[in-house]
Amino acid sequence: MRTYLVVIDDSPEASLALRFAARRAARTGGGVAVLAIVTPQDFVAFGAVQATIEAEAREHAEELVAAAADAVVQEAGVTPQIMVKSGKPADVVREVINASDEIAALVLATAANGAPGPLVAHFTGQDAGTLPCPVMIVPGGIDLARLDALS
């Protein structure tokens, strides 16, 4: 099955990428994989404090993917695969894509203005062309009606 991979976080652009991927999956008979990444924390001298910070970050990531999964079901009637992984974001995305032959595209979105986010910059800059699938970029300033028409 053709699966669109979306990396989810708290940003407004992540919801645009999710909407686009959900609608494309519904129209093409594909699926959606929603990935939240827990970035490793800098070392904290007190292990209990670091463990608490990491547990809270993972819990927040799990809440994000659950909300994203609900949005995909409501938007497109597609039940997504959800994942929460820890690591450096670009490395995690690459590992997830390389582990699945079903991922047809990585769907990211840019901010409405300003510099692109780190994953957009990474996969369209220094690592452009190295993934085994296309990278779809949704512009952050796109009107929802236009986005819906394109998806």
Q: Are 110 and 119 in contact (CB under 8 A)?
A: no
Using DSSP's 3-state secondary structure scheme, residue 4 falls into: strand
Domains and CATH numbers, the chain: 3-150 (3.40.50.620)
Is residue 123 very low, low, confident or very high in pLDDT (cuts 50, 70, 90)? Answer: very high
The string of pLDDT tens digits covering residues 78-90 is: 999 999 999 999 9
The strand pairing partners of 3, in sequence order, are 31, 103
| DSSP letter string, 61-118 | HHHHHHHHHHHHHHHHS---EEEEEES-HHHHHHHHHHH-TTEEEEEEE--SSSSPPH
Model confidence pLDDT, tens digit, residues 6-53 = 999 988 899 999 999 999 999 999 999 999 999 876 666 666 766 777
Residue-level pLDDT at 110: 94
Q: Are strands 103-109 and 31-38 parallel, antiparallel or unpaired?
A: unpaired
pLDDT higher than threshold 70 for residue 147: yes
Per-residue pLDDT at 115: 87
Report residue 60's pLDDT band, with 50, 70 and 90 as the boundaries.
confident
Nearest Cα to Cα of residue 95 among 35, 136, 46, 45: 35
Following DSSP, what letter does each residue of 7-30 receive, concatenated? Answer: E--SSHHHHHHHHHHHHHHHHHT-
Q: Fill in the amino acid letter for 87.
A: G
